[in-house]
Amino acid sequence: MKYETVIGIEVHVELNTKTKMFCRCSADYFGKEPNTHTCPVCLGLPGSLPIINEEAIKKCIQIGLALGCTISSKSLFERKNYFYPDLPKGYQISQYRWPLCIKGELKLDSGKVIRVNRAHQEEDTAKLTHQGGESLIDFNRSSVPLVEVVTEPDFSSSEEVREYAQKLQQIFRYLGVSNADMERGDMRLEANVSVRPEGQTELPPYRVELKNINSFRFMVAAIEYEVKRQIEAHEKGEKLSQETRGWNEDKKETYLQRSKEEAHDYRYFPEPDLPELKNMDQIKVDLPELPSKKTERFVSDYELNKQQVGILVESIEMADYFEKVVEAGKQNNVTPVQIANYIVNKKVDLSVDPKQIINDIQDKTSNLISDDAEFEKLAKQAIEENQKSADDFRAGKENAIQALIGGVMRLSKGKADAAQTVKILRKLLE
């Protein structure tokens, strides 16, 4: 029997606010002495009362709007009740029935749309460190603002999950709401994985949650291992159940942590110490031009290829720098394509003065081949010497043109303009 994979993703991202979600302790806890950023509220001491961090709410709304979510006019915090050593109150203040942002989406490069069920605001837990036979608790992270972005079960492969998570990380950074540094734990991934017979439309009666994974590579490996494990279990006639599993990177396998709870197990009820959030849909927040829109604009306005644009919009700092250099090049007739080629190929340090980039490009282009006939002769020779690459390109393999470009550069001893080379090669290969 053939099987297909069904995956839903939960992404937790810590917000870079100055203070914690429900108290005035500093949220800048990373690398600090353990238990130095605490107070009665984030320690969960009796009689302490929380107060909502307005900046965190605005950042959560920014995330929701960037994902095309509807902002709820009414939103409530709730108590999610469970006992764990890193949860001092015995419950987490979170959202379940009345989340802040609902029903958004994120489009993958393939055109597939991943539906976002919700993005809601909550607080982070403390951090456990295991040393030998002891577990140490650092409460510096307790109550740091956390946003959870939950998808529908729309993924069918680990690579789709990787792309989605990377795009989400890029959005967080463009918005400036989080560093989204996975090594530091600013962003953590969880996947709900199950398999079903190919062609079956209803969701499987179980799901396995892969918990708190802090690397794109680890997430891909964990999903692929888990899919294989589940298929083998089905083939043996074993019944799979709802459970939470971790990833052991050393053994390259998932391992059982606990049986997975359902929502009713957490006994959600409205947080009595916090007010209802009203008219949230009226809050105005600024959004920058997001990566998807910037990509479209760079392709249409500057006539760049998608490979160049992918590098230039990787960070908002790189994209802004590119446009500053484009502006500096207007008076010198240096084209955006020339600038993009230079920045991408040279891996330019963003601290370099844009005018210096223009000067370097002009110096380089003054020695380039300008005669079209000579250019075409070199391109034809490169095609003759790399016939397989030429045939591959004609067959639709876009990357094959790179070998031909390299051939022209070698024959011209580096005096061929890359953009002109691509243009002539494409013309000859039509």
The residue extents of the domains of the chain are 3-282, 291-365, 372-429
316 vs 410, more confident:
316
| Residue 424 confidence (pLDDT) | 84
Within 10 A of 231 (CB to CB), how many other CB atoms are there? 15
Percentage of the chain beyond pLDDT 90 is: 70
Q: Tell me: the pLDDT tens digits for 265-292?
A: 889 999 999 999 999 988 889 999 999 9
Percentage of the chain beyond pLDDT 70 is: 97
| Residue 403 confidence (pLDDT) | 87
| Residue 260 confidence (pLDDT) | 67
CA distance readout (Å), 296 to 169, 289, 300: 19, 11, 6
Q: How many alpha carbons fall within 13 Å on the CB side of residue 343?
A: 34
Q: Tell me: the pLDDT tens digits for 86-105?
A: 899 999 999 999 999 999 99
Segment 313-316 long-range contacts (CB within 8 Å, at least 24 positions apart): 314/170, 315/170, 315/173, 316/173, 316/174, 316/288
| Residue 366 confidence (pLDDT) | 65
Q: Among residues 88, 226, 212, which one has the least CA distance to residue 155?
A: 226
pLDDT-derived band at 428 (thresholds 50, 70, 90) equals: confident
Model-level pTM? 0.85
Tell me phi and psi for residue 48, to 5 degrees.
Answer: -80, 145
pLDDT-derived band at 395 (thresholds 50, 70, 90) equals: confident
| Residue 133 confidence (pLDDT) | 86
- 80's CB contacts (< 8 A; 6+ apart) are 91, 92, 93, 94, 96, 122, 266, 268
Question: b/e map of 290-328 (b: 16 or more CB within 10 Å)?
Answer: bbbebbeebeeebebeeebbebbbeebeebebbbebbeb
| Residue 370 confidence (pLDDT) | 63
Q: How many alpha carbons fall within 13 Å on the CB side of residue 226?
A: 32
| Residue 396 confidence (pLDDT) | 85
Pairing of β 208-213 and β 243-248:
parallel
Per CATH, is 372-429 categorized as 1.10.3470?
no
Q: Tell me: the pLDDT tens digits for 30-89?
A: 999 999 999 999 999 999 999 999 999 999 999 999 999 999 999 999 999 988 888 999
| Residue 90 confidence (pLDDT) | 93
With beta carbons less than 8 A apart as the criterion, state whether 385 and 304 touch: no
pLDDT exceeds 80 at position 412: no
Tell me phi and psi for residue 184, to 5 degrees.
Answer: -85, -10
pLDDT exceeds 70 at position 368: no
Question: What is the SS3 assignment for 255?
Answer: strand
> For residue 333, is it left (φ>0), alpha (ψ between -120 and 50) or beta?
left
Q: What is the mean pLDDT of residues 10-28?
A: 97
CA distance readout (Å), 393 to 126, 375, 422, 428: 54, 20, 12, 11
Residue carrying the six token digits 């490069």? 109
Q: What is the mean pLDDT of residues 240-245?
A: 92
| Residue 294 confidence (pLDDT) | 96
Q: What is the mean pLDDT of residues 165-169?
A: 97
**Cα gap 82→79, rounded to integer Å:** 9
Q: What is the mean pLDDT of residues 304-313?
A: 91
Q: Where are the beta strands (DSSP E) in 27-90?
A: 70-71, 74-75, 78-81
